[in-house]
Each structure stands twice: as structure tokens, then as C-alpha cells.
């Protein structure tokens, strides 16, 4: 896993609290007098998102210690395309899980967190594990079910989705403390320290014994010319891991930046951005999460993030001779093959996906509506997969061998059923339950099971995948989904209107561009990172 993906995962590695018949949360809430002051903490999550699950689990001991001193709220993230019809990133079961959790919050206010923690033990089984967890946590299952199955549940979910959307919460988890976005550390002490800092008059006793985080100097060497570096994104993740981090950003374009680069380029920091920690970082508890990606680099500890930007090389789209060889942009040999230098091909739309990535699934599902919009003025649509070819002829994909197998089967469908995008019938059917092993049920309506199986089992399927994944490798595309308009213009998105609008920015004369499709043109977005 690349460090960029690892950082996202590591931020969410919290202490998991087991499910008990009665949690400390309820006990703390009932003990003592009613607090004179309360601090609001709000989390926006998805019930089956592993990161949302982990932050719920990680926050439980905070509630146990602070009790009613925290005005704690949970809202869920999803869409309501039409009134009463709901969708969520991880499918219908996640929608059902969201509703159950909201109904538990309403009808079991003292025990809902117990129920959520219990169901979180196996989030993929949500909502099927509700009955067992309701029994274990002694909540009124009948009352919660009646709510979840009726109009009350729909109203709760609609309101919750709206709150998340209004707050701009698209990623799970998105956290708010006292009305402001929370981007601090996510250990128990980090949460408590941050909450305690918001009390004005009546601080709980626990606030008196929270240790201060260790101060850690961090130098971030980046380059303002780099469009894809995004050092602030990684820095935000590092702040979650190291609450005491004190960052200083240095740009390569300054004398200080060039001097630092010259000093560090032979010590592992040839590519930017470079994250250079003071050695004291090794003494921080968060260091365990990144230790295997850290190397000694002179007076620093260098965090290896898979950086790609060479500040001494030609930048292919800035109309400048960056490397001093007299050739500008695409005329420079080093720019050959770069996306920006590719030949433009009107009316062509490529998508790069992983077949079992939930974001990729949503993007391909959106193409049903997009292709329908352009049926009177057809476009060229290509599906490209993101995976790695191993030297022994096997393949590696982010979501394991089942994803490799499904990539191959979908390529076989594309190979044999390209007319009028017939292969999309198979893909859309599979996307309804993409992790199911019963792919044969989707080879119907003119798509032959035997044809797909022969292609998949023989050398043809392997050859198709080998050739198909070359493009994503050549272009350095590792996020699912990534789109390419007209063979050279990269964009992201998962909603039909969002995809259409981005594509039409380069093909404005197409008839389909005048149509309004479903979803927000500005979002949602998201993606799975490559291995």
C-alpha cells in the first residue's frame, strides 16, 4: 500500500472498544449532576465505512469519561435522489444500517452507542447483526424495527443526510467540534484534550489530567509549481497522527528551498514534496503508524510518501523551459507520453477503475445515464482497469484476487459484447452486488456464460488485462475512478451530472451536453488508491 493510502488508513487506527451489555458511556451519562456547560461534538459517518466505524469505536471511551459534558451527535452521509429513495456509498445495507442507528439514537438514547459498537464488530454484516446486538445490549428491538421500517425512519434519514450535505460532509468520518471542523488527533487523549479546551467555565475533572502532546518540528519541502503535490492534504493527516507537530513549509523556488533541496536530494528527498521530521518524532506514540515508511536522512527523519515531482525536470504545461535544454513543454523529450501531451481525440471518454472499488462502482453505474444522454450523438467510451502485472504472469489488485478475476470477466464482456455497450448490462448487474461470487447470474440477456468463462479461464482473459492496465500505468493513474476526456483531459467524479459537465467542458457541441442529469455537478467525489 502506498504511503498516501496508508496515511488515510492510519489516521483511523483507533482503540476498538468491545460491545458490552452496558457500556461506560451509559454509566458516565447517568452519574453525577447535570453539567452546567456542554461542548458539542458531531461526527458525520457511513455505517459500513471502516473509517467511520473506527472513529465511532475510538470516541466511545471519550463519552465514557466525559458523559453528558459532551453534546454528542451522529449524522450519516448519503444521497436522496428522489424523496424517500436513499443511496449510500456502500450500498442498500449501509442505508438500512444508517436508519437502524438513527432509530436507536431516538428510541434508546441511553444505550444506542452500545448497539452501534456491537454492530461495528462486523460492520459488513450490518444490518443483519441487529437482532443479536439488540439482544446483547438490551434495547427495544421491536420499537427500533418499527421506526426503521416506517416513515419515521425515512424522515430521520432524510434529515440526517441533509445535515451532512449542508455541512459539506462528504467523507466518512467528517468531524466538528464546537461548530468548527475538527482536524486534530484521534486518540482518546487527543479528543479529550480538544474538547476540554472548549469549556469556558465548568471543566470536568478529567480535563485536569490530560498530558500535553510532544512538540515535533516538521519541515515540508514542496514546490508551488507542482499541481499534484497537495502537501497540505498529507500534512492534515499527519496532524491527526502527531497533535504536537509544528510544521514549517519551505518552497523550492526560494533560496532557502533550493539550499535545503541540494542538501537533501542525495539523502532520499530528490522528489517532492518531502516531509522532514525532527528525530524526536520517534518518541511519539503516533510514530508506530508510519515507522516502516521513515528513513534516516542526515539530521532529519524522512517520511517516504511516494512523491513524484522532480523540481529540476521539465514541467510539461507551463510554457517555460524548466530544465534549460532549450525545449519547452511537449517539445521536450521527457514529456512524451504525459497526459497533457497526448493527442486530442474528440468525443472520447475513458474511465480508470478498480472493479470492486465502491467509488469505481458508483462511477460505472453513473455511465448508464451518461451514455443514454448521448445516444443520439454517440461518444467513444472505454473502461480501463487499475492493477499490477506480476513477473510470473499473475496480477495484483487493491481489493485482492476477487477484483482481479472480476476485472478479467468484465474485459471479456467488453471484448465480446461491445455493440451499443451491451457489456454494460453485465457490469451494472455485477455492481448491484459486486463482491458476490455468483457472476453467472449477470451473464444473461444475450451475454453467454460459456463465452465469458472460456475467455476468463484461458489465456485470452489474462492477455486482455495485461494490455488493458498498461494505459493506467503509462499515465500514472492510480485512483479509482479517474476520467480522461478526449484522450488527455483528466478529471474526477462519480455523479452523472458531474461526469457529463466535466466531459462537455471539452465537447460543448454535443447534443447530450444540453441535458441535465442526476446528481450534483460539483460532487460527490472520492476514490480508491492503488497498491
Whether residue 33 lies inside any domain: the answer is yes
pTM for this entry? 0.62
Q: Are residues 472 and 379 in the same domain?
A: yes
Looking at residue 522, what is its pLDDT?
65
> What is the structure's pLDDT at 239?
85
| 507: in domain | yes
* pLDDT for residue 284: 87
Which of 102, 80, 106 is closest to 158 using CA atoms? 80
**What pLDDT, on a 0 to 100 scale, did the predictor assign at position 33?**
64
Provide the pLDDT confidence category of residue 249 given band limits of 50, 70 and 90: very high
Both 446 and 464 in one domain: the answer is: yes
31 and 166 inside one domain: yes
Q: Quick one: 21 and 150 in the same domain?
A: yes
Could you tell me if 192 and 236 lie in one domain? no
Domain end residue (candidates: 145, 176, 209):
209
Domain-ending residue, one of 157, 179, 209: 209
Q: Please, which pLDDT band fits residue 16 given cuts at 50, 70 and 90?
A: very low
Q: Is the pLDDT of residue 22 over 50?
A: no
**Residue 23: pLDDT over 50:** no
Residue 5 included in any domain: no
- In which band, very low, low, confident or very high, does the pLDDT at 494 lie, cut at 50, 70 and 90? very high
Please tell me whether residues 269 and 396 are part of one structural domain.
no
In tens, the pLDDT along 267-293 reads 999 999 999 999 999 998 788 878 999
Q: In terms of domains, do 149 and 255 share one? A: no
Mean pLDDT of 251-270: 96
- pLDDT band at residue 523 under the 50/70/90 scheme: low
pLDDT of residue 18: 24
Among 250, 284, 303, the domain boundary falls at 303
Residue 531 has pLDDT above 90, yes or no: no
Better-scored residue on pLDDT, 110 or 243: 110
The domain that holds 292 is classified in CATH as 3.40.30
Q: What is the pLDDT of residues 166-225, one digit of tens each?
A: 999 989 999 999 999 998 778 888 899 999 999 998 889 999 888 888 899 999 999 999
Q: Which of 327-331, 344-348, 444-448, 517-521 has the lowest mean pLDDT?
A: 517-521
DSSP assignment of 238-272? HHHH-TTEEEEEEETTSHHHHHHHHHHGGGT-SSB
What is the mean predicted confidence (pLDDT) over 237-250? 90
Residue 319 lies in a domain: no
Question: Both 288 and 241 in a single domain?
Answer: yes
Which has the closest alpha carbon to 499: 369, 307, 342? 369
**Cis peptide bond N-terminal to 127, omega within 30:** yes
| Tens digit of each residue's pLDDT (9 = 90 or more) over 350-377 | 999 999 998 999 999 999 999 999 999 9
Residues 115 and 230 in one domain: no
* 133 plus 90 within the same structural domain: yes
411, 404 Cβ separation under 8 angstroms = no
Mean pLDDT of 226-250: 90
Q: What is the pLDDT of residue 521?
A: 66
Number of domains in the chain: 3
DSSP for residue 150: S
pLDDT for the residue 524? 56
Question: What's the mean pLDDT in 17-43?
Answer: 56
**Predicted confidence (pLDDT) at residue 9 exceeds the cutoff of 90:** no
Domain that holds residue 288: 216-303
**CA separation for the pair 41, 107 (Å, rounded):** 20
The pLDDT, as a whole number, for residue 28 is 39
Residue 272: what pLDDT? 97
Return the DSSP state at 498: H
Percent of the residues in the chain that have a pLDDT greater than 70, as a whole number: 92
| CA nearest to 19, candidates 103, 109, 112, 97 | 112
Q: Quick check: 240 pLDDT over 90?
A: no
Q: How much is the pLDDT for 314? A: 94
Backbone phi, psi, residue 189, to 5°: -65, -35
Sheet strands (E) in 252-366: 274-277, 294-297, 300-303, 348-353
Residue 147 in any domain: the answer is: yes
Q: Which residue has the higher pLDDT, 287 or 505?
A: 505
Using the 8-state DSSP alphabet, how is residue 435 labeled? T
| Residue 258 phi, psi (nearest 5) | -65, -40
Residue 405 included in any domain: yes
Predicted confidence band of residue 228 (pLDDT cuts 50, 70, 90): confident
Specify whether 117 is located in the same domain as 61: yes
Whole-number average pLDDT of the chain: 90
Question: Residue 154 half-sphere exposure, CB side, CA atoms within 13 Å?
Answer: 9
In this structure, of 41-45, 392-396, 525-529, the range with the lowest mean pLDDT score is: 525-529
User: Rounded mean pLDDT of 77-102?
Assistant: 93
CATH of the domain at 205: 3.40.30.10
Mapped onto helix, strand or coil, the DSSP state of residue 294 is strand
Assess whether pLDDT exceeds 50 at residue 1: no
Residues 191 and 260 in one domain: no
Residue 491 lies in a domain: yes
Question: What one-character DSSP code corresponds to residue 87?
Answer: E
Residue 187's closest CA among 58, 333, 361? 58
CB 519 within 8 A of CB 366: yes
Give me the phi and psi of 8, to 5 degrees please: -60, -45
In a domain, 309, yes or no: no
Amino acid at each position: 500500500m502506498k504511503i498516501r493510502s496508508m496515511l488515510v488508513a492510519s489516521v483511523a487506527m483507533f482503540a476498538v472498544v468491545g460491545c458490552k451489555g452496558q457500556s461506560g458511556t451509559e454509566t458516565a451519562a447517568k452519574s453525577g449532576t447535570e453539567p452546567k456547560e456542554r461542548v458539542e461534538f458531531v461526527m458525520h459517518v457511513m455505517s459500513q465505512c471502516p473509517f467511520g466505524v473506527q472513529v465511532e469505536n475510538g470516541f466511545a471511551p471519550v463519552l465514557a469519561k466525559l458523559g453528558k459534558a459532551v453534546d454528542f451527535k451522529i449524522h450519516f452521509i448519503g444521497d436522496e435522489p428522489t424523496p424517500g429513495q436513499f443511496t449510500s456509498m456502500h450500498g442498500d445495507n449501509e442505508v438500512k444500517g444508517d436508519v437502524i442507528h438513527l432509530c436507536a439514537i431516538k428510541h434508546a438514547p441511553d444505550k444506542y452507542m452500545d448497539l452501534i459498537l456491537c454492530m461495528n464488530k462486523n460492520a459488513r454484516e450490518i444490518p443483519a447483526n441487529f437482532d443479536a446486538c439488540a439482544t446483547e445490549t438490551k434495547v427495544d428491538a421491536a420499537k427500533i424495527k418499527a421506526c426503521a421500517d416506517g416513515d419515521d425512519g425515512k424522515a430521520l434519514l432524510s434529515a440526517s443526510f441533509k445535515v451532512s450535505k449542508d455541512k459539506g460532509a462528504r467523507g466518512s468520518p467528517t468531524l466538528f467540534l464546537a461548530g468548527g471542523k475538527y482536524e486534530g488527533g484521534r486518540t482518546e487523549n487527543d479528543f479529550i484534550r480538544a474538547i476540554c479546551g472548549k469549556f469556558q467555565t465548568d471543566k470536568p475533572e478529567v480535563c485536569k489530567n490530560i498530558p500535553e502532546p510532544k512538540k515535533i518540528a516538521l519541515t515540508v519541502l514542496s514546490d508551488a509549481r507542482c499541481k499534484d503535490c497537495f502537501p497540505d492534504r498529507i500534512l492534515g493527516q499527519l496532524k491527526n497522527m502527531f497533535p504536537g507537530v509544528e510544521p514549517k513549509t519551505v518552497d523550492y523556488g526560494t533560496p532557502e528551498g533550493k539550499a535545503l533541496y541540494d542538501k537533501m536530494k542525495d539523502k532520499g528527498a530528490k522528489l517532492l514534496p518531502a516531509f522532514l521530521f525532527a528525530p524526536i518524532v520517534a518518541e511519539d506514540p503516533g510514530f508506530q503508524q508510519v515507522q516502516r515508511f521513515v528513513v534516516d536522512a542526515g539530521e532529519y527523519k524522512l517520511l517516504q510518501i511516494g512523491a513524484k515531482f522532480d523540481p529540476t525536470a521539465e514541467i510539461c504545461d507551463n510554457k517555460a523551459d524548466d530544465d534549460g535544454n532549450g525545449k519547452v513543454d511537449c517539445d521536450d523529450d521527457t514529456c512524451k507520453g504525459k497526459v497533457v501531451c497526448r493527442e486530442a481525440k474528440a468525443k472520447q471518454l475513458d474511465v480508470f477503475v478498480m472493479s470492486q472499488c465502491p467509488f469505481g462502482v458508483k462511477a460505472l453505474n453513473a455511465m448508464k445515464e451518461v451514455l443514454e444522454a448521448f445516444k443520439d450523438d454517440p461518444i467513444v467510451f472505454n473502461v480501463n482497469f487499475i492493477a499490477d502485472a506480476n513477473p510470473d504472469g499473475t496480477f495484483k489488485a487493491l481489493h485482492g484476487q476477487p477484483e482481479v478475476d472480476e476485472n478479467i470477466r468484465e474485459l471479456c464482456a467488453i471484448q465480446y459484447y461491445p455493440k451499443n455497450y451491451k457489456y454494460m448490462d453485465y457490469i451494472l448487474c455485477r455492481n448491484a452486488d459486486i463482491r458476490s461470487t455468483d457472476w453467472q447470474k449477470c451473464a444473461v440477456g444475450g451475454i453467454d456464460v460459456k463465452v465469458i468463462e472460456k475467455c476468463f479461464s484461458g489465456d485470452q482473459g489474462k492477455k486482455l488485462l495485461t494490455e488493458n492496465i498498461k494505459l493506467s500505468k503509462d499515465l500514472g493513474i492510480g485512483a479509482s475512478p479517474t476520467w480522461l476526456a478526449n484522450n488527455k483531459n483528466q478529471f474526477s467524479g462519480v455523479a452523472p451530472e458531474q461526469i457529463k459537465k466535466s466531459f462537455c467542458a471539452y465537447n460543448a457541441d454535443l447534443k447530450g451536453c444540453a441535458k441535465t442529469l442526476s446528481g450534483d455537478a460539483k460532487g460527490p467525489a472520492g476514490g480508491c488508491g492503488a497498491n
